[in-house]
Structure formats: structure tokens, C-alpha cells
């Protein structure tokens, strides 16, 4: 009889670094590698425990004096879009989404660079090359998909193969209890379309279609204006010391 235990993941702690969200704060992260035949199972467990995935790494904040980063997940089955969100859906009726394997393309990278140059000129990803982007997309041992959002060409039917302008891209993990939005980007000139909001609403709809309960949005950082949008999607749960609890916060607005 083989009594050898299944290898457990090894966790590591990063050195302190400047926090990208809160001025004057330092951040540390605990992380492990998502590799091997149990990577998808481990990704599920760790995401449900407040971790996020980046390539083949799962990480979560481990800051000594700060607990501002809070894991957020939307309760997709109970979600009802606010009036402003319904306007976003109406503004993007001409968008067709297609789901494919986690494979990069030159067209995706071009849009990615436009997004970074407009929104994140001084961020940690600002100098990413085409090779860096390819690694970000392809370096996964879990069930990851690329969702491309394109403008429907005039005269094309609803079921037509999407061939129009690429407007946005989402890198998404399919898990046992929902979808995890790993990273998304879009044409920064689409302010009237509120395309970031549209992609989250689309993920909520997809999660409901799959019969799964949750859309994982990553971390909401209390006090960070750039993360404030995540509390708009109600109802949602936040991971606390007592486990996942409903967040009685903003109602999404009208």
C-alpha cells in the first residue's frame, strides 16, 4: 500500500515593496506556484481563500500593518443591473464576444499597449513587451480562456463569426464555482461605452448561463479611488477573518 502523501504547495513571502494603491504604505505578498496535474484544483481552493492568479503564480497580500486589500466576489444569481448599467448594456448591443483558448495575438497586444499607455503609464506593467504579454496569456496550468469583444460589422448577423474591430479582451479562469477575471483591457477611447463595466456585466451573464454562483473580481482596496468601482456590483461578498460575508456597501447607483 502506497502511503506517500500528496505533495503540498510551498508558500513564499516577498520582500517589502512600495504599495501601488495607497501612498506611504509598503506591501508584501505570500505566493505559491500553480503547476502540475492539481493546478486547477489548487487554483479553485486558493481563489476561494483570497488568492489571485498571475501566470503560474497564486498570491495574496501579506502586509504587516495593513488589511486594506479585500477579496471580492459578485453573487451572480442575485445580481440585478442598476439603471446606469442597463444603459451600458444598451450602448454595447453591437458587440460580439467570442471565447477561445489562452493564445495571444498581435492584434491583442496592440490593443493592450494602447490601454497601458493611456491608463497605466507608470504602473508595473508599463514596459511589457510582446513576449511579456504572450507569457502572461499562455503561462497557465489551469482552465483559462481569452474572451475577445468585437464591434459587429454592418450587415453581419448575430451568429456571424466576429471579424470587426477588437474593442476589448478578458483573460478569464473557469473555476468550479464561477469565473475569475484575471486581467482585462479595452480601447481607452471608448469612454461613452463604459467598456470595463460592460465586460464585468458580460461575465456575470456568462456565470449565470453556466449555472455557477460567483464572479471573482480580485481585490477591492479601501481608500484607493482606482479600485472603488468594484463595490458597485451588488450583491457581493467580501472575504473577512470569519469567511465570505455579504458587503453592505454601495448599491451600484442609478
| Span of 4-13, 65-74, 91-100, 226-235 with lowest mean pLDDT | 4-13
Residue 155: pLDDT band (50, 70, 90) is: low
How many domains does the chain divide into? 2
3-class state of residue 209 by DSSP: helix
| Confidence class for position 124, pLDDT limits 50, 70, 90 | low
Domain-terminating residue out of 68, 90, 114: 68
Extract the C-alpha cell encoding 66: 495593513
- Return the higher-pLDDT residue of 57 and 163: 57
DSSP 8-state secondary structure symbol assigned to residue 126: T
- 57 & 155 share domain: no
pLDDT for residue 5 is more than 70: no
Which cell numbers in the block locate residue 19? 504599495
Q: Say if residue 58 is in the same domain as residue 165.
A: no
In percent, how much of the chain has pLDDT > 70?
Answer: 89
Q: What is the pLDDT of residues 14-27, one digit of tens each?
A: 999 999 889 999 99
Q: Mean pLDDT over residues 120-138, rounded? A: 83
Any idea how long the chain is? Answer: 254
Mark whether 18 and 101 lie in a shared domain: no
Percent of the chain with pLDDT over 90: 77
Q: Phi, psi at residue 185, to the nearest 5°?
A: -150, 165
183 and 108 fall within a common domain: yes
In a domain, 6, yes or no: no
The CATH number given to whatever domain includes residue 224 is 3.40.630.30
Same domain for 238 and 201? yes
User: Mean pLDDT, to the nearest integer, of 126-147?
Assistant: 94
As given in the structure block, the three cell numbers for residue 6 are 500528496
pLDDT greater than 80 at residue 135: yes
Decide if 227 contacts 21 (C-beta within 8 A).
yes
Binning the chain into helix, strand and coil, the percentages to the nearest 5 are 30, 30, 40
- Measured N-to-C along each axis, helices 130-138 and 106-119 cross at an angle, to the nearest 10 degrees, of 110
64 lies in the same domain as 80: no
Q: Please report the sign of the dihedral spanned by the C-alpha atoms of residue 193, residue 162, residue 131, residue 56.
A: positive
Shared domain for 235 and 198, answered yes or no, is yes
92 shares a domain with 63 = no
Q: What does DSSP assign to residue 34?
A: -
| Domain assignment of residue 49, given as a range | 12-68
pLDDT in tens, 169-212: 999 999 999 999 999 999 999 889 999 999 999 999 999 999 99
Task: Tell me the per-residue pLDDT of 96-112, one tens digit each, with 9 for 90 and over.
Answer: 999 999 999 999 999 99
Amino acid at each position: 500500500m502506497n502511503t506517500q502523501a500528496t505533495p503540498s504547495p510551498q508558500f513564499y513571502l516577498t520582500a517589502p515593496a512600495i504599495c501601488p494603491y495607497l501612498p506611504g504604505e509598503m506591501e508584501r505578498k505570500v505566493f505559491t506556484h500553480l503547476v502540475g496535474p492539481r493546478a486547477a484544483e489548487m487554483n479553485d481552493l486558493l481563489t476561494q481563500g483570497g488568492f489571485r492568479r498571475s501566470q503560474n503564480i497564486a498570491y495574496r497580500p501579506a502586509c504587516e500593518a495593513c488589511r486594506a486589500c479585500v477579496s471580492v466576489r459578485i453573487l451572480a444569481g442575485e445580481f440585478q443591473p442598476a439603471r446606469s448599467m442597463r444603459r451600458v448594456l444598451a450602448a454595447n448591443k453591437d458587440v460580439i464576444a467570442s471565447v477561445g483558448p489562452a493564445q495571444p495575438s498581435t492584434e491583442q497586444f496592440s490593443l493592450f499597449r494602447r490601454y497601458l499607455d493611456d491608463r497605466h503609464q507608470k504602473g508595473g506593467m508599463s514596459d511589457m513587451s510582446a513576449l511579456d504579454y504572450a507569457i502572461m496569456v499562455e503561462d497557465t496550468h489551469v482552465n483559462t480562456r481569452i474572451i475577445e469583444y468585437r464591434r459587429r460589422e454592418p450587415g453581419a448577423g448575430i451568429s456571424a463569426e466576429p471579424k470587426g474591430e477588437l474593442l476589448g479582451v478578458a483573460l478569464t479562469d473557469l473555476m468550479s464555482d464561477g469565473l475569475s477575471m484575471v486581467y482585462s483591457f479595452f480601447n481607452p477611447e471608448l469612454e461613452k461605452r463604459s467598456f470595463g463595466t460592460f465586460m464585468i456585466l458580460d461575465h456575470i451573464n456568462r456565470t449565470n448561463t453556466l449555472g455557477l454562483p460567483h464572479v471573482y473580481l480580485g481585490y477591492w482596496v479601501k481608500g484607493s479611488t482606482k479600485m472603488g468601482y468594484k463595490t458597485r456590483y451588488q450583491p457581493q461578498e467580501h472575504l473577512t477573518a470569519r469567511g465570505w460575508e455579504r458587503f453592505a456597501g454601495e448599491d451600484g447607483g442609478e
